[in-house]
């Protein structure tokens, strides 16, 4: 299977070279940047955790993300490249996998302004038979087609629930079939490395025994209403060790009518490597609900509620997230986002009101998004 897949990939990459070499190519450069202010308070009051009654806090201006993008369109193909420039507190781990539990994850130091190739893919749009059914082959580093992680347009500053909680990577290296279902929706079926876009390779003695497999189907049975079902599978074990599967699925139902849009997502995952008889199930469950109301062409109100249980058998570890905000279109290229976000443990660590305050994470966020 691996040899066959390698042969297919080599053939497609060869075709890519000839396509670029002999076809007229139209190149577009564009991008996006977040300029953010974050006032964040852990616990009941502002101040270092070492102070009596104080919490921990942040009070920072930052540029947490910059996207530099190129699109190349030619006869029978479309290429996309996205550079993701991160600047986060403590820096990005320069060699660590997106999954904390993936064997072989490297920790070779952290850097600010880390630059990752998030997308580097080519769509072949004129393949015989596939082009007749509105389908294309996509090769390279690309989205992981799952739930809301690949369609999330950041109506709230916080990431989609899968991304926020590290359930799945937003991009990976592989090959996919993407297509449309007439006027009824679309689908994606993909094979990935299963290591995320921030990992380029794994040591040969820590190689994963299988690839990751992903499938999503979107249905739009009624104008303005949609439903999407997604499934993702990979193995978490290196060669020569016991096989453990990681399976996650999501169901999203949403729609838009006039100035109102919204969706509800159900998310679950089963990590067999975490299972411990009688104490740890290895099963996580999450819900996400979002609604946006456009008051004018410039102003949109947004609200979001998440609930996330990292293990259904481990007691009192659920976290609820509440977000309320407003998006203001300053110009055609700039949007100001103002959000209040509360991440609260559903069950206080020690059961009292004071402990409940100390387990809360309050964020007051202002972010200017500008695109070019």
- The answer to whether residues 333 and 370 touch, using CB atoms and an 8 Å cutoff, is yes
pLDDT given at position 316: 75
pLDDT given at position 110: 62
Task: Note down the domain range covering 255.
Answer: 2-371
3-state secondary structure 125-155: CCCCCCHHHCEEEEEEEEECCCCCCCCCCCC
Q: Is pLDDT of 113 > 70?
A: yes
Burial class (CB in 10 A: 0-12, 13-18, 19+), 39: middle
- The answer to whether residues 338 and 365 touch, using CB atoms and an 8 Å cutoff, is yes
Number of domains into which the chain is organized: 1
How many C-beta atoms surround the C-beta of residue 193 within 10 A? Answer: 19
Q: Is pLDDT of 98 > 50?
A: no
Task: Give the mean pLDDT of the chain.
Answer: 82
How far is the first Cα of the chain from the last one, in angstroms, to the nearest whole number? 43
pLDDT given at position 195: 81
Look up the CATH number of the domain holding residue 268: 2.40.160.10
Which has more pLDDT, 271 or 18?
271
pLDDT given at position 171: 93
Q: List residues bridging with 69 in a β-sheet.
A: 30, 82
Q: Is pLDDT of 252 > 50?
A: yes
Q: Is pLDDT of 222 > 60?
A: yes
Q: Where residue 203 falls among pLDDT bands split at 50, 70, 90?
A: very low
- The answer to whether residues 110 and 91 touch, using CB atoms and an 8 Å cutoff, is yes
φ, ψ of residue 210 in degrees (nearest 5): -155, 165
φ, ψ of residue 272 in degrees (nearest 5): -65, -25
pLDDT given at position 105: 43
Q: Where residue 253 falls among pLDDT bands split at 50, 70, 90?
A: very high
Average confidence (pLDDT) over 154-169: 94
pLDDT given at position 8: 46
The DSSP secondary-structure symbol of 45 reads S
Compute the distance between CA of residue 114 and CA of residue 90 in angstroms, rounded to an integer: 11
Beta-carbon contacts of residue 22 (< 8 Å; ≥ 6 apart): none
Q: Is pLDDT of 348 > 70?
A: no
Q: Is pLDDT of 62 > 70?
A: yes
Compute the distance between CA of residue 318 and CA of residue 262 in angstroms, rounded to an integer: 24
Tokens 């007439």, located at residue:
182
* C-alpha closest to that of 68 among 24, 113, 99, 110: 113
The pTM assigned to this predicted structure is 0.83
* HSE, side-chain direction, 13 A CA sphere, residue 270: 8
Q: Is pLDDT of 181 > 60?
A: yes
- The answer to whether residues 270 and 244 touch, using CB atoms and an 8 Å cutoff, is no
Average confidence (pLDDT) over 269-283: 86
Structure tokens at 234: 């990979």
Q: Is pLDDT of 50 > 50?
A: no
- The answer to whether residues 238 and 194 touch, using CB atoms and an 8 Å cutoff, is no
């Amino acid at each position: 299977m691996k040899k066959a897949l390698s042969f297919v990939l080599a053939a497609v990459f060869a075709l890519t070279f000839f396509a670029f070499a002999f076809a007229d190519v139209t190149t577009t450069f564009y991008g996006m940047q977040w300029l953010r202010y974050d006032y964040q308070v852990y616990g009941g009051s502002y101040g270092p955790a070492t102070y009596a009654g104080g919490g921990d806090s942040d009070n920072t201006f930052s540029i947490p993300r910059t996207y530099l993008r190129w699109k190349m369109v030619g006869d029978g193909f479309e290429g996309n490249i996205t550079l993701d420039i991160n600047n986060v507190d403590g820096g990005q781990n320069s060699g660590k996998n997106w999954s904390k539990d993936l064997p072989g994850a490297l920790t070779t130091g952290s850097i600010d302004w880390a630059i990752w190739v998030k997308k580097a893919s080519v769509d072949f749009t004129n393949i015989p038979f596939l082009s007749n059914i509105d389908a294309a082959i996509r090769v390279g580093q690309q989205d992981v087609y799952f739930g809301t992680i690949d369609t999330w347009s950041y109506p709230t500053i916080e990431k989609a629930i899968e991304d926020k909680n590290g359930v799945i990577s937003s991009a990976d290296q592989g090959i996919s079939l993407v297509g449309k279902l007439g006027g009824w929706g679309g689908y994606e079926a993909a094979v990935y490395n299963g290591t995320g876009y921030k990992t380029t390779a794994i040591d040969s003695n820590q190689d994963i025994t299988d690839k990751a497999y992903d499938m999503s189907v979107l249905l739009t049975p009624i104008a303005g209403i949609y439903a999407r079902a997604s499934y993702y599978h990979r193995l978490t074990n290196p060669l020569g060790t016991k096989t453990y599967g990681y399976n996650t699925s999501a169901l999203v139902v949403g729609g838009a009518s006039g100035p109102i849009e919204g969706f509800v997502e159900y998310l679950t995952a089963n990590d067999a490597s975490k299972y411990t008889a009688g104490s740890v199930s290895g099963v996580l469950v999450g819900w996400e609900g979002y609604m946006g109301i456009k008051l004018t062409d410039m102003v949109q109100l947004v609200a979001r509620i998440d609930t996330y249980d990292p293990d259904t058998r481990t007691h009192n570890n659920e976290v609820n997230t509440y977000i309320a905000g407003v998006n203001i279109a300053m110009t055609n290229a700039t949007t100001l986002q103002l959000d209040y976000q509360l991440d609260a443990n559903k069950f206080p660590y020690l059961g009292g009101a004071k402990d409940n305050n100390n387990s809360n994470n309050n964020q007051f966020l202002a972010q200017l998004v500008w695109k070019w």
